[in-house]
Structure 1
Amino acid sequence: MAKLEQVTSQSQFEALLKKAGRCLTVVHFQAAWAPQCGQMNDVMSELSKEHTTSYFVTLEAEEVPEVSEKYDIASVPTILFFKGGEKVDRLDGAHAPELSKKVQRLAVSGGPAAGEVSPQRDLNERLKQLITAAPCMLFMKGSPQEPRCGFSRQIVGLLKEHSIQFSSFDILSDDEVRQGLKTYSDWPTFPQLYANGELVGGVDIVKELAESGELDKTCPKFLSLEERLKAVINRGPVMLFMKGNKEEARCGFSRKILDLLNGAGAEYDTFDILSDEEVRQGLKTYSNWPTYPQLYVQGQLVGGVDIVRELAESGELEGVLRGDS
C-alpha cells in the first residue's frame, strides 16, 4: 500500500480486517483537531512506503464510536495493531519512534504469539538504558503535562514542588517496558521513580521522603538550562544531537551524518532533539549554531553535516572523533 486508507464506519473497519488477513494492519484512531495526529499520519505514510504488504489506516475516533468504545480508545492519537483480525499491540500517544519500532517488529514477526516475549537479555538491556537515560527517571502513566492516573499526578506534583529535575517515560506507550519493569525492579505497580539508575519507589515512598526532607538528597535538584546543556553535551566523549536516534533518523541530514560516523567506525551517543524542546532551542543559542544535527567531541562543538562530511573527505574525521588536537 502506498497511502493511508480512511475508514468511516464499523462495517468498513471489519471488512478491512477480514481482507487484511494475517497481514499487519495499523489503525490510527485520530481527530482532525489534534495536530499531533497529523504528525503521526506523516510517520504512517512513510512507513507504508517501506512496508508495502501491511495496511495503514486512519479512523476518526469520534465519528466511529462503536469501534472506539470496543477498543477502549480514551484519547488521540491511539494506534492499534492487528493480525488475523485480532489486536496484537497498542500505542497510546504521539510516540513516532515507538510506532516505527512496533511496525518493524510486527511486520517481520507477524506479531507476538501467545506468551511470546523478547529475549530477556535484550529487554533488560533496554530497561537499563531507559532507567539511566537521566539522573532522575519517572516511569508513569501519561506525561508530566498530562498524567493519566491519580498516582502519577501526585508524584509529578511532589517532584515539581521540590524543584526536582526529571525525565519521564509513558508506560502506556510500550507494554513490553510496562510489564518488564515490574520484574526487572521487583516492583509491581506504577509510577516508579529512579535516581542515578536505582529504584527509589512509588508515590508513597516519594511522599515519605518529601515529608522527611530526604527527597532533595535522593534526587537531583533543578539545573539551569546552561547547566543542563553542559551535562547533556558531556554525557559521552562523542555526542550527536539529531532528529531521531541511531536506529531511526527523522531527517535526511541526520541520516547522512549517521552514515558518516558509522563509516568512520565511531563510538558515539545520540540525543533526540525532537524529544526535548528546551534542549532543541537552548542548544542553538548556547553553541551559536542554528541548525541540526550538531556533533560534539569532548564537550566541544565540531559542527553539522557539512563540516563532518569535509572532515571525512579530508581523512581527518577519525582523528577529530578521537579528540586528537
Structure 2
Amino acid sequence: MAALVEVHSAGEFDELIRNSGNSLAVVHFWAPWAPQCSQMNKVMAELAKEHGQVTFVKLEAEAVPEVSEKYEISSVPTFLFFKNSQKIDRLDGAHAPELTKKVQRHLSSSSIPASSNEKPPEDLSVRLKKLINAAPCMLFMKGSPQEPQCGFSKQIVGILNDHKIVFSSFDIFSDEEVRQGLKTYSNWPTFPQLYVAGELVGGLDIVKELAQSGELDKICPKAKNLDDRLKALTNKATVMLFMKGNKQMAKCGFSRQILEILNSTGVEFETFDILEDEEVRQGLKSYSNWPTYPQLYVKGELVGGLDIVKELKESGELSNALKGEN
C-alpha cells in the first residue's frame, strides 16, 4: 500500500482503514481553501518518506461530509490516528512538531509495551487537569454522547440528558495516554468518569445514586439556567447563526459556506461564535438535538446546518424559511 494516499468517498475511507490492519494510519482532514492545510500536507509527505510502514491519508473534509460528521470534524486541519480499524488518537490544528511526536509515539508503542506501573509524566498531569476543568461538567467516556461505545457510557449520558445537565465529554478511545493517565490521576480505575468543577464525582453507580436522591441537580447548579440562556440567544435576532467565527471571519469551511449563502440572500442576521463560549457550544447540541455546527435558527426555531440550508436554497425555499414561513 502506498505510504501517502488520498481518498474521495466514505466507502474508500472505510476500506482503507479496514485494510490497514494493525499498522498505523494517519488521516488528515483538510480543505483546499485553508493555507495551513497545504502546509501540513507537505509535512505529511515528509513524514511518509521517513515512515514507510505508516499509511498517511488525505481526505477533503467538506467533500466527504458523512465521514467528517461521524468523527466530529468541525475544523481543519484535523488528524485522526487509526490502528486495527479503531481510532486511537486525535490532533486538532496545524501543529507539525506535535504531529511528528504522535506518529513516533504510536509507532514505538506498537513494539514496546508501556509498563503498567509507569507513572504519567508531569506534563500529562497538567494536560489532564486542563481537560478536567474544560467545562463545569466533564464526562470522560467511551465514544461520544451521540454515539456511546459501551453500555455504561450510554446509561450515564441518558441520566445526564434526562436531568438536562449540560456537560462536555472526552472520548477516551481517542487518546490512550489520557485513558491510562486519568486512572492514576483520579485513582479511579474504570470509565465513564464524571467531574464537576474539576473534582471527580464518580462513575455510573454513583451518578445513579445521586440522581435517585435528587443530589445530581444540586451538584450541577448551572445546568437548569442554561436552557433559559440558550432560548434567549436563539431568539436574539429573527435569524441567528451559531458558527465558528463571526460575520467578518469564519473559522471553518462549513461556517464560511453558510455565511456566503446567507449574505447572498440580503436577509439581516446575527451570529454567535461558539468557539468563545464552551458552555453554549456544548449546551446547544443537547438543546437542539443537533450535534454539529453551524446551526441556523429563525424565530428561535432550528432550521438546520449547512446541508439543509443548501437544500433550501436549491429548492427555492430558503427565502420563506428565513422569514419563518415554511
**Which structure has more RCO (C-alpha within 8 Å, separation ≥ 6)?**
2
Q: What TM-score, normalized by structure 1, do the two folds share?
A: 0.50
Q: TM-score, normalised on structure 2?
A: 0.50
